[in-house]
Chain A
Amino acid sequence: MDAFVKRILCLLAFVAFVLPISAQQFQKELDSLSRLMENRSLTDTATIDLRNHYTKQALFANPSDTTLLDFAEKTLEISTKMGYGRGTMLAYERLALIHQYSFSNPYKAQEFYHKALALMEKDKRLKPYGWSIYGGIGTLYYEQEEYGKALDFFKQVLKHDKNLELTATANMANIYGSINQLDSAIYYYNKALDMEQVKDNPTYKANLYSNLSLIYGQDGQVDSALVSAEKSIALIEQYGIEFVRPTAYANASMAYMGNSDYEMAEKYAKLSLELSDAQGNLFLQKSAWGTLADVYAAKGDFSNALEAYKKFSVLKDSLNGQNRRVEINRKQLEFDFEKERTVTKAEIERQTTIKRATLLGGGGLLLASVFGFMLYKRRRDDLEQKREAEFRALVSDTELKALRAQMNPHFIFNSLNSIGDYILKNDTETAMEYLTKFAKLMRMVLENSEFKEIPLSEDLKFLELYLQVESKRQPGKFSYEISVEEDLDTENIAVPPMMLQPFIENSIWHGFAQKADRGHISIGIVKQGNMLLCTVDDDGQGRQTEGYVLATKKAFGVAITESRLEILNAQKNTKGKLDIMDKGRDKGTRVEVSLPLETIF
């Protein structure tokens, strides 16, 4: 679970559902609450109520406000001294909320919920306020991914409390979505949407449609997904529901993508990006970039797809980093928490039998939307995996194309010309020998092109054969040597196939073209730290002397190698690079390709 994301998203949801007012109005209310409190005596039950009210509103307005903890502890202290039961119970609940949403500490939250419940059990008059506590614990179960318990809870609610029917139904839909029981999820969403209570609550309705769209998409019902997404957006536009807007746009973008409507998918991903950017909501930004990468890829705009994917990856990494921290924290607490939970569980079960409370809708609604957004996150994670796999496939496709292009027609037709030349000279034996070597080389190119990485030994075999063929084509033109650092296990080192070939080709075709005497190429493979340094060093005429046409052709090989390295670096988070050094006029060129040193086993 991603605590950081959850916090921000639940803020949107709570405010939207509990107080259907604008952010400015909300800030005004907070301000007036503060003013009201200033003018009151501290030891007044109304002040305690006000302080508790303020804490809840302020928490969801600004969850990162750490001063709230002191404020809530103070409320608890005063209320306890006064012996004001309801105030104390709600103060405990607020402390639980702060720990749950602001500090992402389920253990502490559970502890405070437990204290609040203990108070409620003592005083039956407090029962009507119990549902929000109960709901808080339910949320914790959900966070622990104990869907069964969370589901039991809402089934009970649905059975016992008519007022909370809608909330319970929506929550159950979300839970079923989370455990991938899509049919049940769709059933409960539609049930919730048919309810009377939803009719005059466009915010709730918009959120339900948005979630439903997600589930339809997951179920492969792309048409229904689009219909739901469009309904959600229509409501948002009609009522100006700002809090659901960025999420609904992100969902809509995916629905359009599912229907191959790339224009609309792009439009909504960009809108969602704009809004989430303004809010600083990294999670939605990540989602939007992910969808954009798909859209661009589908349109064949690979450079933009790559850009979008990079942004997506960066956001994903930073969000995962936060996940990990929460994970570690959670692991430490697990033991204590388990003990605590056993106690609380007994408590809750006792409560369930006595409780028949009506609840302020807010708590329940809050849960519904929190679950909705968590569901959204799960869905996104699934999509991410699929998307990454697809993107990788796309990258390999591009690589394959690049490889085929490398073995360029230039080489093939010159080889055929050479064969023709031997035939003309009646040297059929040499022609045949050359032809079979050439065939072997072509076979190797085809076989190696199938793999993203091959053992270094295979790649060296290819280079050796390539050099043999080239030296056979123009005997006496050049000599070559391949030296590999002795303790390198070439069978066990993985390299992208044929990275050096374009540079060797350049040396032979351009470096030695005008050279009167015999040229020499040294190919070297050495280990350098955690990199593999591959060099092609010739004593040809160097790069400066080459004409315009040659320069552009050369640039092609360089560009392909650079883009391959770029993809490699992005995928593996490495720093492979290409350096081309001019050793001076008529002194030759040295090319260095440095690759991450990776073993196969």
Chain B
Amino acid sequence: MTVAIIDDEQHCIDRLMHLLEPHSDHVEIVSYSTVEEGIKGVDSLRPDIVFLDVQLHDRTGFDFLSSVSYRDFSLIFTTAYEKYAIEAFKFSAIAYLLKPVDRDDFEFAFQKALDKTEQAQLHERINVLLSNVSKGNGPKRISVPHKEGYVFLLVSHVVRCQADVNYTHIFTSDGKRYTASKTLKHFEQLLDGHQFFRTHNSHLINLDFVASYHKNGYAILSDGTKIEVSTRRRDAFVKACAQH
């Protein structure tokens, strides 16, 4: 098995190599410190797993992804504190590790990278990631994990999300419903600040679709659904609607 590390800092490469040591009997490691080297190397060597840094001198890991021809690898991003990038990874359901990399976190991500089912639709997820980071003004699409893999939704088409224990039902403007294998909290953290508002323990709604609000505590969406707004969230909700 071949693992490629693309990072412009030698000590980061060293760290990952150190963490890979327990697997050294069946892993061959190659490393590149620029986008150009990475593209050339990956296209010719076709590695199984790529660890990719976000910032590579004056270029980015995204530049690498959009130019490389071979993409049938498991991808794990590495970053220290690029907030916007972390958000984009979450939106696209792309794996990432924070530097300095913790061994437990590393092992978890590495095992997932080895698992073929975890790599389902990685192409599409990378496309979502690239479109989200390239357009500016925040992510436009979201990768939603569900039982048969992933579904890719435009954020602006998501009307609302509703909690169902550890699952979340996502309702879109074309009247469809998707059940995601993530908690509502996951989607709240993802979508909060992108015109979404958590009105209730079980509801996260897109403010674009709010048709009216009734003082006795519920909002009516444009598809006619009545959504409860919990007492503690009412003031903030009205404010968010006003500012929206």
Q: How many residues of B contact A (CB 8 A)?
A: 16
Contact of B102 among A436, A492, A600, A601 (CB under 8 A): A436
| Residue A491 lies at the interface, judged by CB distance under 8 Å to chain B | yes
Contacts A492-B201, A601-B201 given; does A443 touch B232 at CB 8 Å: no
Hey, which chain B residues are within 8 Å of A433, CB to CB? 102-103
| Residue B123 lies at the interface, judged by CB distance under 8 Å to chain A | no
The majority secondary structure among interface residues of chain A is helix
Interchain CB contact under 8 A, B200 and A440: no
Hey, which chain A residues are within 8 Å of B105, CB to CB? 436
Interchain CB contact under 8 A, A491 and B185: yes
Interchain CB contact under 8 A, B233 and A601: yes
Hey, which chain A residues are within 8 Å of B17, CB to CB? none
The majority secondary structure among interface residues of chain B is mixed
Interchain CB contact under 8 A, A436 and B232: no
A416–chain B nearest beta-carbon distance, Å: 13
Hey, which chain A residues are within 8 Å of B198, CB to CB? 601
Contacts A492-B201, A601-B198, A601-B200 given; does A439 touch B100 at CB 8 Å: yes
Interchain CB contact under 8 A, B100 and A436: yes
| Residue A577 lies at the interface, judged by CB distance under 8 Å to chain B | no
| Closest residue on chain B to residue A438 by CB atoms | B100
| Residue A304 lies at the interface, judged by CB distance under 8 Å to chain B | no
Interchain CB contact under 8 A, A432 and B200: no
Interchain CB contact under 8 A, A436 and B101: yes
A423–chain B nearest beta-carbon distance, Å: 14
Q: How many residues of A contact B (CB 8 A)?
A: 14
Hey, which chain A residues are within 8 Å of B18, CB to CB? 432
| Residue B45 lies at the interface, judged by CB distance under 8 Å to chain A | no
- Scoring A residues 450 to 494 as 1 if CB is less than 8 Å from chain B, else 0, what string do you get? 000000000000000000000000000000000000000001100
Q: In the complex, which residues 5-49 of chain B have their Cβ closer than 8 Å to any Cβ of chain A?
A: 18
| Residue B230 lies at the interface, judged by CB distance under 8 Å to chain A | yes
Q: In the complex, which residues 179-232 of chain B have their Cβ closer than 8 Å to any Cβ of chain A?
A: 185, 198, 200-201, 230, 232
| Residue B240 lies at the interface, judged by CB distance under 8 Å to chain A | no
Interchain CB contact under 8 A, B201 and A440: no
| Closest residue on chain B to residue A435 by CB atoms | B100
| Residue B120 lies at the interface, judged by CB distance under 8 Å to chain A | no
Hey, which chain B residues are within 8 Å of A491, CB to CB? 185
Contact of A600 among B81, B99, B100, B232 (CB under 8 A): B232
| Residue A563 lies at the interface, judged by CB distance under 8 Å to chain B | no
| Residue B238 lies at the interface, judged by CB distance under 8 Å to chain A | no
| Residue A437 lies at the interface, judged by CB distance under 8 Å to chain B | yes
| Residue B114 lies at the interface, judged by CB distance under 8 Å to chain A | no
A124–chain B nearest beta-carbon distance, Å: 51
Contact of A443 among B98, B103, B201, B230 (CB under 8 A): B98
| Closest residue on chain B to residue A600 by CB atoms | B232
Hey, which chain A residues are within 8 Å of B100, CB to CB? 432, 435-436, 439
Most chain A beta-carbon neighbours within 10 Å: one of B102, B198, B230, B233: B102
| Closest residue on chain A to residue B185 by CB atoms | A491
| Residue A156 lies at the interface, judged by CB distance under 8 Å to chain B | no
Interchain CB contact under 8 A, B98 and A601: no
Most chain B beta-carbon neighbours within 10 Å: one of A599, A600, A601: A601
Cα distance A440–B102 in the bound complex, in angstroms = 9
Hey, which chain B residues are within 8 Å of A443, CB to CB? 81, 98
- Scoring A residues 257 to 296 as 1 if CB is less than 8 Å from chain B, else 0, what string do you get? 0000000000000000000000000000000000000000
| Closest residue on chain A to residue B229 by CB atoms | A601
- Scoring A residues 573 to 601 as 1 if CB is less than 8 Å from chain B, else 0, what string do you get? 00000000000000000000000001111
| Closest residue on chain A to residue B15 by CB atoms | A432
Most chain A beta-carbon neighbours within 10 Å: one of B100, B103, B200: B100
Interchain CB contact under 8 A, A601 and B232: yes
| Closest residue on chain B to residue A443 by CB atoms | B98
Q: In the complex, which residues 412-436 of chain A have their Cβ closer than 8 Å to any Cβ of chain B?
A: 432-433, 435-436
Contacts A443-B98, A491-B185, A492-B201 given; does A601 touch B103 at CB 8 Å: no
A403–chain B nearest beta-carbon distance, Å: 18
Hey, which chain B residues are within 8 Å of A598, CB to CB? 232
Interchain CB contact under 8 A, B230 and A601: yes
Q: In the complex, which residues 78-100 of chain B have their Cβ closer than 8 Å to any Cβ of chain A?
A: 81, 98-100
Hey, which chain A residues are within 8 Å of B201, CB to CB? 492, 601
Hey, which chain B residues are within 8 Å of A440, CB to CB? 98, 102
Cα distance A601–B233 in the bound complex, in angstroms = 6
Contacts A443-B98, A601-B200 given; does A432 touch B232 at CB 8 Å: no
Interchain CB contact under 8 A, A599 and B232: yes
| Closest residue on chain B to residue A447 by CB atoms | B83
B215–chain A nearest beta-carbon distance, Å: 15
Cα distance A381–B103 in the bound complex, in angstroms = 56
Cα distance A336–B200 in the bound complex, in angstroms = 40
Hey, which chain B residues are within 8 Å of A601, CB to CB? 198, 200-201, 230, 232-233
A271–chain B nearest beta-carbon distance, Å: 36
Cα distance A600–B201 in the bound complex, in angstroms = 8
| Closest residue on chain A to residue B201 by CB atoms | A601
A389–chain B nearest beta-carbon distance, Å: 11
A488–chain B nearest beta-carbon distance, Å: 15
A489–chain B nearest beta-carbon distance, Å: 9
Q: In the complex, which residues 56-112 of chain B have their Cβ closer than 8 Å to any Cβ of chain A?
A: 81, 98-103, 105
A449–chain B nearest beta-carbon distance, Å: 14
Cα distance A601–B236 in the bound complex, in angstroms = 11
Hey, which chain A residues are within 8 Å of B98, CB to CB? 439-440, 443
Contact of B103 among A432, A439, A599, A600 (CB under 8 A): A432
| Closest residue on chain B to residue A428 by CB atoms | B18
Hey, which chain A residues are within 8 Å of B230, CB to CB? 601
B165–chain A nearest beta-carbon distance, Å: 13
Hey, which chain B residues are within 8 Å of A492, CB to CB? 201
Interchain CB contact under 8 A, A437 and B232: no
Contacts A491-B185, A492-B201, A601-B201 given; does A436 touch B233 at CB 8 Å: no
A513–chain B nearest beta-carbon distance, Å: 29
Hey, which chain B residues are within 8 Å of A436, CB to CB? 100-103, 105
Cα distance A439–B97 in the bound complex, in angstroms = 13
| Closest residue on chain A to residue B19 by CB atoms | A432
Cα distance A435–B200 in the bound complex, in angstroms = 39
Cα distance A598–B115 in the bound complex, in angstroms = 42
Cα distance A572–B179 in the bound complex, in angstroms = 39
A339–chain B nearest beta-carbon distance, Å: 26
Cα distance A440–B81 in the bound complex, in angstroms = 11
A442–chain B nearest beta-carbon distance, Å: 10
B234–chain A nearest beta-carbon distance, Å: 11
A503–chain B nearest beta-carbon distance, Å: 27
Q: Which 8 A-B pairs have the closest CB atoms?
A: A436-B102, A601-B230, A601-B201, A436-B100, A439-B100, A601-B200, A435-B100, A601-B232
CB<8 Å pairs between A and B, sample of 29: A432-B18, A432-B100, A432-B103, A433-B102, A433-B103, A436-B100, A436-B101, A436-B102, A436-B103, A436-B105, A437-B102, A439-B98, A439-B99, A439-B100, A439-B102, A440-B98, A440-B102, A443-B81, A443-B98, A491-B185, A598-B232, A599-B232, A600-B232, A600-B233, A601-B198, A601-B200, A601-B201, A601-B232, A601-B233
Identify the A interface with B (CB < 8 A). 432-433, 435-437, 439-440, 443, 491-492, 598-601
Identify the B interface with A (CB < 8 A). 18, 81, 98-103, 105, 185, 198, 200-201, 230, 232-233
Known: A432-B18, A435-B100. 16 other contacts (CB 8 A): A433-B102, A436-B101, A436-B102, A436-B105, A437-B102, A439-B98, A439-B99, A439-B100, A443-B98, A491-B185, A598-B232, A599-B232, A600-B232, A600-B233, A601-B200, A601-B201
